[in-house]
């Protein structure tokens, strides 16, 4: 096991009303209280549930994150949410560049890097997502795609910021499909990511970076995935929507 503290975050995507969020978090905080100090836990609900979520987990070992952030601080940007708005609510983390944002909203590596910088400037901690499609994997383009995304998405960040950045490797072909990269496949990509970080920022920096795996992580595969040398946690979708399941996934990962 790595000396890095595991970090497991739940990405609720467009699920759960504010009322439902409060209900599941009320259940979850009781189930994970014993993990305090052993693992870092976060939940990233929809914008409308952020306020209730922060208040529900106040004083517990669960942090709250946003699913996106604007590069703009204020202005005529309908539907956007700024760093100061998130800070005012008590949010700690921000998911940036999730494959669904890249696919459905045209987000580029350049925009991801700008959002990461905005997050840091405000005191928020980014979870930067990368990952290849099934076609890219089957045509042996995975190393090229991951290298391009890492270099582009983290461009302009300092070594101090990189250390505080969580990178989430999510093979797009494994998100919500029930397919999971084998532990060996996931470890291969995580090792590549750490090497790229090492080449750019030095071994000492690279060894401190948390690299999560995302893509159909469940209670029955979390232990084997988290047991890999360079896998330091998970960004969990569907399995984070039920308190029992998510708590079981965390427990098995320890």
pLDDT band at 219 (very low <50, low <70, confident <90, very high): very high
Q: Tell me the Cα Rg of the chain.
A: 17
pLDDT tens sequence across 60-102: 999 999 999 999 999 999 999 999 999 999 999 999 999 999 9
Q: Taking residues 189-203, what's their average pLDDT?
A: 97
Select which of 63, 98, 136, 190 is catalytic: 98
Residue 190 appears among annotated catalytic residues: no
Select which of 100, 161, 170, 190 is catalytic: 170
pLDDT band at 179 (very low <50, low <70, confident <90, very high): confident
**For domain 7-253, which architecture applies?**
Alpha-Beta Barrel (3.20)
Which residues are CB-contacts of 124 (< 8 A; sequence separation ≥ 6)?
66, 69, 83, 86, 87, 91, 92, 93, 94
Residue 170 appears among annotated catalytic residues: yes
pLDDT the model gives residue 1: 40
Beta bridge partners of 65: 93
In the chain, what are the domain boundaries? 7-253
CB 150 within 8 A of CB 192: no
pLDDT band at 208 (very low <50, low <70, confident <90, very high): very high
Q: In terms of C-beta density within 10 A (0-12 exposed, 13-18 middle, 19 or more buried), how is residue 207 classed? A: middle
Q: Rounded to 5 degrees, what are φ and ψ at 186?
A: -65, -45
pLDDT tens sequence across 19-44: 999 999 999 999 999 898 899 999 99
């Amino acid at each position: 096991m790595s000396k890095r503290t595991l970090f497991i975050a739940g990405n609720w995507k467009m699920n759960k009303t504010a009322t439902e969020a409060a209900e599941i978090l009320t259940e979850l905080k009781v189930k994970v209280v014993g993990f305090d100090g052993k693992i870092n836990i976060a939940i990233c609900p929809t914008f409308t549930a952020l306020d209730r979520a922060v208040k529900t987990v106040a004083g517990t070992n669960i942090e709250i994150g946003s699913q996106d952030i604007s590069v703009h601080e204020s202005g005529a940007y309908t539907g956007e949410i700024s760093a100061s708005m998130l800070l005012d609510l008590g949010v700690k983390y921000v998911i940036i560049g999730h494959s669904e944002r890249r696919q459905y909203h045209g987000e580029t590596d350049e925009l991801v890097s700008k959002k990461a910088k905005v997050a840091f400037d405000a005191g928020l901690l980014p979870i930067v997502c990368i990952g290849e499609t099934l076609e890219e994997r089957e045509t042996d383009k995975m190393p090229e795609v991951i290298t391009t995304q890492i270099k582009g998405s983290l461009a302009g960040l300092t070594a101090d910021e990189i250390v505080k950045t969580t990178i989430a490797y999510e093979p797009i072909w494994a998100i919500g499909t029930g397919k999971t990269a084998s532990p060996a496949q996931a470890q291969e990509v995580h090792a590549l990511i750490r090497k790229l970080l090492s080449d750019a920022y030095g071994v000492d920096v690279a060894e401190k970076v948390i690299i999560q795996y995302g893509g159909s992580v469940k209670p029955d595969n979390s232990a084997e995935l988290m047991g890999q040398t360079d896998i330091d946690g998970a960004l969990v979708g569907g399995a984070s929507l039920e308190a029992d399941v998510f708590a079981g996934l965390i427990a098995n990962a320890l």
